[in-house]
């Protein structure tokens, strides 16, 4: 699999960040719990898009920017992600973060982590001073995918068309669209279940050290 320039495309929530930051934030600050659970169930069943789900979650939210800032403070990264960023730099692999979550906490967490230089593509949280005012979808493309706010498949396909060897890393339902299109897929959690069910070739992983080791073997890299 060597010979082509490599781009690693990684999900954020539950993949780079240990937990699904967006989901847990909404769970903590949406007071109408049963209504929220019913909404998530509809999304899981594919009855509503993640765009619609996210718009309604923001509307149901009773929190402001300072609540979000405090919440982010407690969130952690995969313990081996920092080493993985260095590994990518050493190997001259591009690393792109794609997320159907929100730019605000991705940006804040990357900055805090000293990785603010990493490129990410996500939905955009709209703030009006301290007030969380809404969400915008700069990457939304209903013609290519009706399910996602920011469909990860699009980013994978664009990179493949540009001749890159694409490695996709994910863990959740919002990673399903991309999983059938990357050259190499690392999956855990619900994404692993999905890949097994759909017979999509993938490598299971627990943390970024597993990925570094498997990539080294698969791409026949030498130290």
Instruction: Return residues touching Zn ion (CB under 5 A).
Output: 145, 147-148, 151, 177
What is the widest separation between alpha-carbon atoms in the chain? 54
Closer by beta carbon to Zn ion, 88 or else 195: 195
Whole-Å CA distances, 12 to 36, 78, 94: 22, 10, 16
Q: How far is the CB of 41 from Zn ion (least distance, A)?
A: 19
Q: How many Å apart are CA 150 and CA 16, to the nearest integer?
A: 17
Closer by beta carbon to Zn ion, 72 or else 145: 145
Q: How far is the CB of 201 from Zn ion (least distance, A)?
A: 19
Q: How far is the CB of 90 from Zn ion (least distance, A)?
A: 32
Q: How far is the CB of 20 from Zn ion (least distance, A)?
A: 17
Q: How far is the CB of 132 from Zn ion (least distance, A)?
A: 25
192 within 8 A of 33, measured Cβ to Cβ: no
Q: How many Å apart are CA 176 and CA 195, to the nearest integer?
A: 8
Closer by beta carbon to Zn ion, 30 or else 148: 148
Q: How many Å apart are CA 11 and CA 177, to the nearest integer?
A: 12
Closer by beta carbon to Zn ion, 54 or else 151: 151
Tally of CB atoms within 10 A around 161: 8
How would you class 96 by CB atoms within 10 Å of its CB: exposed for 0-12, middle for 13-18, buried for 19 or more?
Answer: middle
């Amino acid at each position: 699999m060597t010979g082509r320039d490599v781009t690693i495309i990684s999900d954020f929530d539950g993949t780079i960040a240990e937990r699904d930051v967006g989901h847990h934030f909404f769970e903590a600050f949406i007071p109408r719990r049963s209504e929220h659970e019913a909404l998530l169930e509809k999304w899981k069943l594919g009855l509503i898009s993640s765009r619609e789900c996210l718009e309604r979650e923001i509307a149901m939210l009773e929190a402001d920017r300072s609540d979000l800032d405090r919440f982010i403070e407690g969130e952690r990264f995969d313990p081996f992600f920092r080493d993985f960023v260095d590994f990518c730099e050493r190997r001259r692999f591009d690393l792109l973060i794609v997320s159907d979550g929100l730019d605000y906490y991705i940006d804040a967490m990357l900055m805090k982590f000293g990785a603010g230089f990493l490129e990410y593509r996500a939905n955009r949280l709209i703030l009006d001073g301290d007030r969380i005012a809404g969400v915008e979808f700069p990457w939304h493309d209903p013609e290519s995918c009706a399910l996602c706010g920011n469909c990860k498949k699009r980013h994978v396909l664009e990179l493949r068309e540009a001749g890159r060897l694409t490695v996709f890393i994910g863990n959740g339902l919002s990673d399903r669209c991309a999983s059938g299109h990357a050259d190499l897929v690392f999956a855990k959690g619900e994404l692993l279940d999905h890949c097994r069910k759909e017979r999509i070739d993938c490598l299971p992983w627990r943390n970024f050290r597993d990925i570094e080791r498997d990539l080294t073997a698969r791409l026949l890299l030498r130290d």
